[in-house]
Amino acid sequence: MASEVENPSPATENRIDGGNTASADGNPTIEIASDSSESKVISKKQAKKEAAKAEKIRRKQEEASSAGAASAKLAETDPLACNYGDVPIEDLQSKAVTGRKWTEVGMLDAKVANGTVLIRGVAQTIRAVGKKMAFLVVRQFTATVQCVLTVSEELESIVDVEGVVSIPTEPIKGTTQQVEIQVTKLHCINRAVSNLPINIEDAARSEEEIKEAEKAGEKLVRVNQDTRLNNRVLDLRRLQIKQFFVCSVLWKMYAICLCPKCISAVSIICDCACEGGAAVFKLDYKGQAACLAQSPQLYKQMVICAGFGRVFEVGPVFRAEDSYTHRHLCEFIGLDVEMEIKEHYFEARTVLDIVDRLFVTMFDYLDEKCKKLLDAINRQYPFKPLKYLRKTLCLTFEEGIQMLKDAGIEVDPFGDLNTEAERTLGRLVLDKYNTEFYILHRYPLAVRPFYTMPCPDNPLYSNSFDVFIRGEEIISGAQRVHFPDLLTSQAKARGIDVSTISAYVNSFRYGACPHGGFGIGLERVVMLFCGLGNIRQTSLFPRDPQRLIP
């Protein structure tokens, strides 16, 4: 797969050819040539394993949705119950795009006074005013707004607030926006644990404030450097520190994400699980066992949990597996993107919509502005211009499987597509839809990383996708699981020692928005756009299993 899973396991690269092979559990399987109409036989033991995994996930989803059932029961006795409470997990699994209009907290001002708005943010502070009223400050990115409502608890939880904007008679202290929201609806999207490791208000105090308070006889909590760094996800929620990392003119409020390339030995299992079991480059880090990161995936999710909203990174990615193919490198440049979503990873300006607009815009630019450069390439390496649609074609995995079956090619409906199947599907899509650039989504959950969100209607499938150019994958992406309990159960189902990924899982215990993203291998995109036969032609100094110089 691409930047997230750019180099799949060598087993997934094998061409379909005649003969007997063995499955991972040692049971015999039979692979049939791609031009045969016979079925691929799967070992019974492996099939039982996959069914057991799916059943575990299904039970977990049922347990998680019990909150929704409780809310429905409450509605029978409280006519206003629909205006508050926890949002059921299935409603956060990209169930539907409702078309509700969301307002950014930073856009709230006198111009929208008396209008009804819907916002999502972090419950930053709550101040009770009497027995029946409270002021809730909601934070989104670096903007804050005061909301008037009845008392609630659990700070740093993610909430949706709907209400009418009003202009207070006196200036509001402690918020960036000088308007109030008279709350009519309040729903919790993701609850933070009651006792946070650090208090954001404490972490935001300057050393000077603390010293001045001490002079006045007041004792304030001092959060030391190690405590901050050990709880970095929470520390990054400080408004001040965001200013260090944010460049608001880049990509419409995307923040630059600079994830570590050296990770600890305890993170190796997590990194391998993240990338489908790919091998890592191990190294000595001042006496500590470490490795080169295969992906910024887990870290960019943690940055989203820190409240950055949208992040991207362009940087090196390292894969140590022995893949001797035309499209794999041991080091490549990845473009990784992660972003919050409101309801669905299909919604406007989110994940798949970004993929569509980004690549169509990029292809248009290359064809229109870089014609001389492309002509020069074409003279030595002749290729046909890429065919693509104004609105990118999006097919489900099941539709792709059916197209292959209709062409007489049998593939496992719950397995991943190998290289030959992907190429064949690419030719079928070109013949039917006249495009060489398309999206395939709703992959089987069993073939995706453990952090992938299951589909709300069928836990055997997932809210994930791959993107293809000329029959080869360039992007892998998905909606992520942002519930720690579901994340833990899916990791255990894959045989992952959860203790090795505790820092990652814990970042979702402090309140996390629904989110998703994708990764792109840039050298592969260039190779396929220009119709080149080998990815080494698009890398300045390629690194593969046999090449370390120049």
Mind spelling out the 3-state secondary structure of 508-541?
Answer: CCCCCCCEEEEEEEHHHHHHHHCCCCCHHHHCCC
Nearest to 276, CA basis, from 30, 475, 447, 125:
447
CA atoms within 13 A on the CB side of 522: 15
Residue 328 appears among annotated catalytic residues: yes
Q: What is the pTM of this model?
A: 0.80
Each residue's pLDDT expressed in tens, for the chain with a length of 550 residues: 444 544 443 333 433 333 333 343 444 333 333 343 333 445 656 666 666 766 666 665 665 555 555 555 555 666 667 888 899 999 999 999 998 999 999 999 999 999 999 999 999 998 888 877 899 999 998 899 999 986 555 688 999 999 999 999 999 988 999 999 999 999 999 999 988 999 888 888 888 889 999 999 998 899 998 998 888 888 888 765 555 555 444 444 456 677 888 887 555 555 554 555 557 888 889 988 888 988 888 889 999 998 888 899 999 999 888 888 888 999 999 999 999 999 999 999 899 999 999 999 999 999 999 999 999 999 999 999 999 999 999 999 999 999 999 999 999 999 999 999 999 999 999 999 999 999 999 999 999 999 999 999 999 999 999 999 999 999 999 999 999 999 999 999 988 888 888 888 999 999 999 999 999 999 999 999 999 989 999 998 999 999 998 9
Whether the Cβ atoms of residue 341 and residue 318 lie closer than 8 Å to each other: no
515 classed as catalytic: no
On whether the CB atoms of residues 535 and 327 are closer than 8 A, the answer is yes
Predicted pLDDT of residue 69: 58
Structure tokens at 410: 């049998």
* 199 close to 156: Cβ distance less than 8 angstroms: no
Domains, the chain, ranges and CATH? 86-190 (2.40.50.140), 201-236 (no CATH), 242-537 (3.30.930.10)
- Indicate which residue of 319, 442, 470, 536 is catalytic: 319
Contacts of 14 (CB under 8 A, 6+ apart): 418, 419
Q: How far apart (Å, rounded) are the C-alpha atoms in residues 68 and 86?
A: 8
Residue 28 phi/psi, 5° resolution? Answer: -70, 145
In DSSP terms, which residues pair with 189 in a beta bridge? none
The amino acid present at 351, given as its one-letter code, is: V
Contacts of 188 by beta carbon, 8 Å cutoff, 6+ apart:
85, 86, 87, 154, 157, 158, 159, 160
Longest dimension (CA), the chain: 84
50, 321, 338, 340: the catalytic one is: 321
In the annotation, is 154 catalytic?
no
Is residue 476 annotated as a catalytic residue, yes or no?
yes
> Given this model, what pLDDT does residue 267 score?
56
Q: Would you state the structure tokens that stand for residue 457, as one six-digit string?
A: 């209607």
Selecting among 237, 442, 524, 536, the annotated active-site residue is 524
pLDDT of residue 235: 85
319 is catalytic: yes
Of 61, 12, 11, 15, nearest to 483 by C-alpha is 61
524 is catalytic: yes
Q: Among residues 267, 295, 476, 539, which one is catalytic?
A: 476
Residue among 473, 489, 509, 523 flagged as catalytic: 473
- Nearest alpha-carbon partner for 165 in 179, 177, 175: 179
pLDDT of residue 17: 36
